[in-house]
A and B are shown apart, each in its own frame.
Chain A
Amino acid sequence: MKHRRDVMVKAATTGLGWLVALLLFFPILWTVLTSFKTEVEAIAFPPAFWPEGWTLENYFQVQERSEYFSHFLNSVIISLGSTILGMIVAIPAAWSMAFQPGRGTRHVLMWMLSTKMMPAVGALVPIFLIFKSVGLLDNLVGITLILLIGNLPIMVWMLYTYFREIPSDILEAARMDGATTLKELVYVLLPMSLPGVASTMLLNIILAWNESFWTLSLTAVKAAPLTAFIASYSSPQGLFWAKLSAASTLAILPILVVGWISQKQLVRGLTFGAVK
């Protein structure tokens, strides 16, 4: 009796899991399918699920009209740059908060998190004006810095959670063994929290890759990443759904592949410390 109920519960939860996964995945699937349709087919009503002609035309046109690879390169520079620079700041910050906490550490952590709750648009005008006056508009350094600042709270929080899991005995042992703070970080703390460091970096690369508010507001041509490349297909002359889809597919493909390969790591990273 109990056994049958277990099987039914399992079937129901599995079914529900698949349903949610399909719902979440459907927009991506639809985009990919649309990218292989003609423009007429793309706006047809009622819509057809499978493309009739399976054309690559949209991809050729997108590549002809705009430089995919220069945008791709910008995206790589921005997301890797902001992640690496961010880690350089976040690792020592998380270290000091986890192992040398002061009276205000908790408040600093909460305050950092609260900045993520502020709508970004609230800071747009001042930042735009500052960037304009120092010449950082449409500049790779400028946009990298903004994404770094935006993601820093998440980096520090994630690393802080990881570092807290490391027994302080081991770091003290390293100190007794003659390790300086830097060596303690390099030889003991970072290797021990490698999964955490890796998933923090992965998550930030993904966040920076997908970030569209600041990249659209502060870049135009030179520093424009793939988000701007997609947006350029929604123009005053009208929407070109098929080309927009082709551009979107090209833009999300790299990060989708990275995410797929590292999904185990990511899930572990995001749920780490939740169950112990």
Chain B
Amino acid sequence: MGSIKLESLKKAFGSQIVIPDANLEIGDGEFVVFVGPSGCGKSTLLRLIAGLEEPSGGRIVIDGQDVTNTSPAQRKLSMVFQSYALYPHMTVYQNIAFPLKMAGEKAEIIRTRVQEVATSLDLLPYLERRPRALSGGQRQRVAIGRAIIRQPTGFLFDEPLSNLDAALRVSMRMEISDLHKRLGSTMIYVTHDQVEAMTMADRIAVMNAGRIEQFATPLELYRRPANLFVAGFIGSPKMNFIEGQKADLYGAHTIGIRPEAVEWSTTSGKWQGRIDRTEHLGAETVAYLTLDKGETLTLRTSLNEELVAGRTIHVSPQENSIYRFDANKAAIGFGSGQNV
């Protein structure tokens, strides 16, 4: 079991309120990602769940038990830190064995368990090494080994891949996903990388300025963002936002169009725009345009070398892919709204 529930959780550092009011229900075995720009409070929220920070108000319930005021160890959660936080003076073996040693397990049991964990993470040849003699990926695996050895009810990952290079990040991402499938435990994963979030999560909590803006599956976030922030944060290149007359025609304060939902033509279209810059990425081309009223628009299409900077083209949004937002930045509808 490993369900986690946050009820009106608050956190303030002095007079600065970091988390005003967080409510969240995470089911047993779910892989949840907290994503948001840096400083949005996602790490603080994770540390509150871990018990490393004391909440200023509200409750944390794990498996039906109120753990708001219990110590980190009593919550039976394991954490993998961004810096790995391995014990530098201990060998890999001692690092992995540490949680069991703290729990007072017998030496015999510790030895068997460490062997099992080290085998599953391909760490057997390194057991006698110190962390500083390991590569980044190996250190990360030791940190994971230390987290899984005491079979916790849930795992907390605090930006665990941000210190790794791009190639290693992709393979570690898959390893963590596999680990989740194998163990079936609840996992909470903090990242600012939306690709990590989209590929790994069952559900994503998008955070901004301490608030959870939306908590939904990756595709739901992509298809039905609750507000302007989520719409702009999920998806790359980012969604186009257009205000003013063009939005008024759709009965909205702002309309949002994904770059991949913009069609273009050399002869006719709804709007006209000049290409400022293009990026030919191999399989696709991304063009950055300025429209007649000075609005900017990003267009994403299959590779096309006709799209060159300086050229004027016609563009039209796919009518059924227009997102509409009101003046309070909340989503008010999807699709073309009134017909124009």
Q: Which residues of A contact B (CB under 8 A)?
A: 167, 169-170, 172-179, 183, 187-188, 191-192, 194
| 3 tightest A-B CB contacts, nearest first | A178-B73, A178-B102, A173-B85
Does A177 contact B146, Cβ atoms closer than 8 Å?
yes
B99 at the interface (CB under 8 A from A): yes
Q: How far is the CB of A82 from the nearest CB of chain B, in Å?
A: 28
Does B81 contact A173, Cβ atoms closer than 8 Å?
yes
Residue of B nearest to A166 (CB): B88
**What count of chain B residues pass the 8 Å CB interface test?**
23
Does A170 contact B73, Cβ atoms closer than 8 Å?
no
Q: Can you list 17 residue pairs at the A/B interface with Cβ under 8 Å?
A: A169-B82, A169-B83, A170-B88, A172-B52, A172-B79, A172-B81, A173-B85, A175-B72, A176-B52, A176-B72, A176-B73, A177-B146, A178-B99, A179-B98, A187-B98, A192-B89, A194-B89
Chain B 169-198 residues near chain A, CB threshold 8 A? none
Residue of B nearest to A193 (CB): B89
Residue of B nearest to A184 (CB): B102
Q: How far is the CB of A171 from the nearest CB of chain B, in Å?
A: 9
B224 at the interface (CB under 8 A from A): no
Q: Mark B62-99, 1 if CB is under 8 A from A, else 0.
A: 00000000011100011101110111110000000011
Chain B interface mostly: loop
Does B85 contact A175, Cβ atoms closer than 8 Å?
no
B50 at the interface (CB under 8 A from A): yes
Which residue of the partner chain, among B81, B89, B146, contacts A169 with CB atoms under 8 Å? B81
Residue of A nearest to B99 (CB): A177
Does B85 contact A170, Cβ atoms closer than 8 Å?
yes
Which residue of the partner chain, among B51, B52, B89, B102, contacts A177 with CB atoms under 8 Å? B102
Does A176 contact B78, Cβ atoms closer than 8 Å?
yes
Residue of B nearest to A181 (CB): B71
Residue of B nearest to A175 (CB): B72
Does A170 contact B87, Cβ atoms closer than 8 Å?
yes
A173 to B50, CA, bound (A): 10
With A173-B81, A176-B79 in contact, is A191–B103 under 8 Å at CB? no
B-side contacts of A167, CB under 8 Å: 83, 85
With A178-B73, A178-B150 in contact, is A173–B102 under 8 Å at CB? no
B-side contacts of A187, CB under 8 Å: 87, 98
Does A179 contact B73, Cβ atoms closer than 8 Å?
yes
Does A177 contact B73, Cβ atoms closer than 8 Å?
yes
A183 to B73, CA, bound (A): 13
A-side contacts of B89, CB under 8 Å: 191-192, 194
Q: How far is the CB of B303 from the nearest CB of chain A, in Å?
A: 45
A183 to B202, CA, bound (A): 37
Residue of A nearest to B71 (CB): A175
Q: How far is the CB of B117 from the nearest CB of chain A, in Å?
A: 14
